[in-house]
Amino acid sequence: MKKNLEKYKVNFVSVVVPVFNEEGCLQELIDRSLKALETTGKRYELILVDDGSEDATASIMHEASEKNEDKVISCFLNRNFGQHNAILAGFSIVRGDLVLTIDADLQNPPEEIPSLVKKAEEGYDVIGTVRQNRQDSFLRKLPSKIVNKMTQLATGVNMTDYGCMLRAYRRHIVEAMLQCNERSTFIPVLGNSFARYTCEIPVGHNERSIGDSKYSLWKLINLQFNLLTCMTTFPLRLLSFIGGSLSLLGILLGIVIIILRICMGDQWAAEGVFTLFAILFIISGFQLVGMGLLGEYIGRIYYDVRARPRFFIEEILGRKEEKTEK
């Protein structure tokens, strides 16, 4: 890797935490995060985004912000928008040049924050984490495994653990994510699609000690679909492939039937039932191809509607006046 490491020095760290009904662990999270951030020796802010909580979360946040002025920033959404949208909301108000995300449930220890900051200073755009001995139930782990594999295939970025939200992004990656208009986003994947230098570090993972996972099975299924469709329109293309192969199979079957019929006489062909099958294959194959083609167009519309920016300029050199604001 290149590098003029001076350029990657981190001065200001922002930590974004989505919070949804976490009254049980929020205070501990704030205390431990502040302590960890203090040890980095950088300027920092802890941005708590309340995702429409209905318990005492909001009042804990109020109090923390009052006590730690300019360090704990509370941001309130007017209803529940989901974890990833809450993080985006937090992103929209960050001031730091390195932005971290972490869950509020203390499954990822906030004590890992300094090691992520250190790693970022080595010049990485995105730093992911891999959960060591992940403490979740098998039923929670299995879908994650499938999703990780699919995402690796779809994005081409080799990250082992997309589900772990303890991550760090450089500010320009965050700005890039904010410019994406789509409604369904999955932050780690989106972040990676803009990153050039990524790396992963191992972190500890604990059982959720307080409260339950905020993801019901239904929410989880929803998330998986979001993840798949936010990256690729490959499933639509699959229709064309399957349809094409089916048609081909039908045609082959037809040829075989004709040959057999000529050789063995009309008794063999069960009065044309087999031929009917061959024709059916061909027709349904064509139908699928048609649907796949439609899908291609819909896929294109989908890409355009999302209006993702097509490139990002990281830096411009040799100009007289520098753009100062981040």
Question: How far apart are the C-alpha atoms of 302 and 13, rounded to whole Å?
Answer: 35
Given 3-state DSSP classes, what are the helix, strand and coil percentages for the chain, each rounded to the nearest 5? 50, 15, 35
Q: x/- binding map, residues 85-104, to ligand UDP, per CB under 6 A? A: -x----------------xx
From the list ligand UDP, Mg ion, none, pick the one residue 82 interacts with, judged by a Cβ distance below 5 to 8 Å according to partner type: ligand UDP
Give the nearer residue to ligand UDP in terms of CB position, either 82 or 188. Answer: 82
Residue from 16, 20, 61, 282 that binds ligand UDP (CB under 6 A)? 20
Interactions with ligand UDP, residue window 101-160 (CB under 6 A): 103-105, 107
Beta bridge partners of 73: 47
Q: Which is nearer to ligand UDP, 188 or 285 (CB)?
A: 188
| DSSP structural state of residue 162 | S
Residue 222: is it exposed, middle or buried by C-beta count within 10 angstroms (0-12/13-18/19+)? middle
Determine contact, residues 53/20, Cβ cutoff 8 Å. Answer: yes
Q: How far is the CB of 86 from ligand UDP (least distance, A)?
A: 4
22 binds ligand UDP (CB under 6 A): yes
Count other C-beta atoms under 10 Å from residue 175's C-beta.
18
Nearer of residues 62 and 141 to ligand UDP, judged by Cβ: 141
For the bound state, the minimum distance from the C-beta of residue 28 to Mg ion, rounded and expressed in Å, comes to 14
Min dist CB 181 to Mg ion, Å, is 28
Select the span of 58-66, 78-86, 89-97, 248-256 touching ligand UDP (CB under 6 A): 78-86
- Sole window of 76-84, 232-240, 282-290, 304-312 interacting with ligand UDP (rule: CB under 6 A): 76-84
CB of 209 to Mg ion, least distance (A): 11
Both structure tokens of 21: 């009904």
- Beta carbons of 280 and 250 less than 8 angstroms apart: yes
CA 262: distance to chain centroid? Answer: 58
Examine residue 19 and tell whether it contacts ligand UDP (CB under 6 A).
Answer: yes
Q: Which residues contact 41 (CB under 8 A, 6 or more apart)?
A: none
Element (DSSP H or E) covering residue 35: helix 26-40
Q: How many angstroms separate the CA atoms of 116 and 114, rounded?
A: 5
* Residue 33 contact among Mg ion, ligand UDP, none, beta carbon within 5 to 8 Å by kind: none
83 touching ligand UDP, by CB under 6 A? yes
Q: Which does 186 bind (CB under 5 to 8 A by kind): Mg ion, ligand UDP, none?
A: none
Quickly count helices (H) and strands (E) in the chain: 10, 7
CB 230 within 8 A of CB 185: yes
| Nearer CB in complex with Mg ion: 97/105 | 105
Shortest gap between Cβ of 50 and ligand UDP (angstroms)? 8
Smaller CB separation from ligand UDP, 75 or 174? 75
Partner residues linked to 14 by β-bridges: 45, 99
**Interface map 36-65 toward ligand UDP (x if CB under 6 A):** ---------------x--------------
Q: Compose the 210-229 pattern: x for residues touching ligand UDP by CB under 6 A, - for all others.
A: ---xxx--------------
CA atoms of 185 and 308, how far apart (whole Å): 12
d(CA 57, CA 65): 12
Question: For binding to Mg ion (CB under 5 A), which residues are involved?
Answer: 103, 105, 107
Nearest to 171 by CA among 120, 242, 113: 120
Task: Summarize as ranges the residues that interact with ligand UDP (CB under 6 A).
Answer: 18-20, 22, 51, 80, 82-83, 86, 103-105, 107, 213-215
